[in-house]
Structure 1
Amino acid sequence: MSIITNNIIPGNHGRVFGTNAKEDVDLETIETKLLEIDGIKEVAINKNIFPREFTVYSTKIIDIREVETKVKSAGFHAIPKENLDI
């Protein structure tokens, strides 16, 4: 695996994750939990598609396992959807 595959890379691209959370309150809980991680500057939630997706933007390299663990602590799953195209 590579640094790009296993991490969220800082910048304007972010990393997209799918989730099994459906309700707005659950998605807000995920956003709040993720913003607790040092280096995450923004979480953008896409409520217009199913399954729901969120994009995580960071100011430093963050391991995707850290995101998955944090979302799991809220009772949901986070699955990386795509790799960053550089």
Structure 2
Amino acid sequence: MSLITNNIIPGNHGRVFGTNAKEDSDLKSIEKSILEINGVKEVAINNHVFPREITVYSTKIININEIETKVKSIGFHVIPKENLDV
């Protein structure tokens, strides 16, 4: 695995995750939970696709496992959907 595969890299690219949450209130709970992680600057939710997508933007390198663990603690799952195009 590489730096890009295992982490969210700072910048305008963000990292897209799929989630099993369906309700708007659940997605907002996930957003709030992720925003508590040090270095996360924004969380964008895409309600127009299935499964729902969450894009996480950061100001520092954040390990994907940290995002997955934080969301799992509130009863949902997120899985990285794609890698950055380098």
In the superposition, the TM-score normalised over structure 1's length comes to 0.99
Q: What stretches of structure 1 of length at least 5 have no aligned partner? A: none
Q: Residue in 1 aligned with 2:21?
A: 21
Secondary structure (helix, strand or coil) at the match of 1:10 reads: coil
Q: In structure 2, what residue type is equivalent to 1:51?
A: P
Q: CA RMSD in A?
A: 0.4
Q: Secondary structure at the match of 2:51?
A: coil
Matches of 1:51 and 1:10, distance apart in 2: 25
Distance 1:7 1:18 in 2: 16
CA–CA distance in structure 1, aligned partners of residues 52 and 75 of structure 2: 15
Structure 2 stretches of 5 or more lacking a match? none
Alpha-carbon distance, 1:74 to partner: 1.2
User: Where does residue 9 of structure 2 map in the other structure?
Assistant: 9
Cα deviation, residue 68, structure 1? 0.2
Partner Cα distance (1:15, 1:77) in 2: 15
Runs of 4+ in 1 over 4 A off after TM superposition: none
Map of 2:62 onto structure 1: 62
Q: Percent identity between the aligned chains? A: 78
